[in-house]
């Protein structure tokens, strides 16, 4: 694992292209790694940062493990030299993704960022504060896993940015394009989810 990115170490990432996978990682698991490896290969990224959120604004803190425990689970699950685990949002003092991206571009002015998200998040990203700013600041790669349905094409984000959608065949060029630009990558199924893992842990108690 590379050193966790810090807003004070921007020179280490100058000229590089980084995929950003944000989330609670409560806990991190093979599904996160599955998406990250696919992104590294098909988007031509130099690294993927797992940004472990101090607290997701849309999720309850009731079953949320402490940040240090979620960081530890991410380090254990990442297991790849190009996957970087970081709590950078805590150091940037940001809570919302749009604000985090703005701060990252300020602190890493010569680094190209690509936002990574699952198809499930695309369906509800319109609930995120400043969600249109996200598409206006960085290229976005959406990972759609089976079973697939047409619901992804009827969500507000798809409708709003339909004209900026790039074909999957051009995914390698996404990082070089000016936002708004995004693509949907259809990837093999990985069944794991953090919700399932937490449920199994409760059954063992």
- pLDDT tens for each residue of 29-84: 999 999 999 999 999 999 999 999 987 665 666 778 999 999 999 999 999 999 99
User: pLDDT tens digit string along 181-205?
Assistant: 999 999 886 655 444 543 444 444 4
Taking all residues of the chain, what is their mean pLDDT, rounded to a whole number?
87
Coil, strand or helix: which one is 181? coil
Give 49's Cβ-side CA count (13 Å radius): 26
Q: Which two tokens stand for residue 162?
A: 């339909």
CATH of domain 15-204: 3.40.50.620
Of 27, 38, 3, which is closest to residue 185 (Cα–Cα)?
38
Sheet holding 83-86, edge to edge: 83-86, 47-52, 17-23, 112-118, 140-144, 182-186, 165-166
This prediction's pTM? 0.87
Nearest of 85, 102, 76 to residue 6 by alpha carbon: 85
CA distance 203 to 201: 5
Note the Cα 189 to chain centre separation in Å. Answer: 17
Q: What residues does each domain of the chain span?
A: 15-204
For residues 77 and 48, is the Cβ–Cβ distance under 8 A? no
Alpha-carbon distance of 2 to 83, in angstroms, equals 7
| Predicted local confidence at residue 86, as pLDDT | 95
Mean pLDDT to the nearest integer, 154-182:
97
């Amino acid at each position: 694992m590379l050193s966790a990115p810090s807003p004070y170490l921007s020179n280490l990432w100058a000229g590089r292209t980084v995929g950003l996978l944000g989330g609670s990682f409560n806990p991190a698991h093979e599904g996160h790694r599955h998406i990250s490896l696919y992104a590294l290969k098909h988007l031509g990224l130099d690294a993927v940062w797992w940004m472990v959120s101090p607290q997701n604004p849309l999720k309850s803190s009731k079953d949320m493990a402490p940040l240090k425990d979620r960081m530890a689970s991410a380090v254990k699950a990442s297991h790849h030299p190009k996957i970087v685990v970081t709590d950078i949002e805590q150091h940037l003092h940001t809570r919302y993704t749009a604000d985090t991206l703005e701060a990252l571009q300020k602190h890493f002015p010569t680094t190209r960022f690509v936002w990574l998200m699952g198809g499930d998040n695309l369906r509800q990203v319109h609930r995120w504060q400043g969600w249109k700013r996200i598409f206006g600041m960085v290229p976005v790669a959406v990972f759609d896993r089976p079973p697939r349905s047409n619901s992804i094409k009827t969500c507000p984000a798809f409708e709003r940015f339909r004209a900026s959608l790039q074909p999957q065949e051009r995914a390698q060029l996404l990082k070089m394009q000016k936002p708004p630009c995004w693509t949907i990558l259809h990837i093999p199924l990985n069944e794991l989810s953090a919700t399932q893992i937490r449920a199994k842990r409760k059954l063992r108690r």
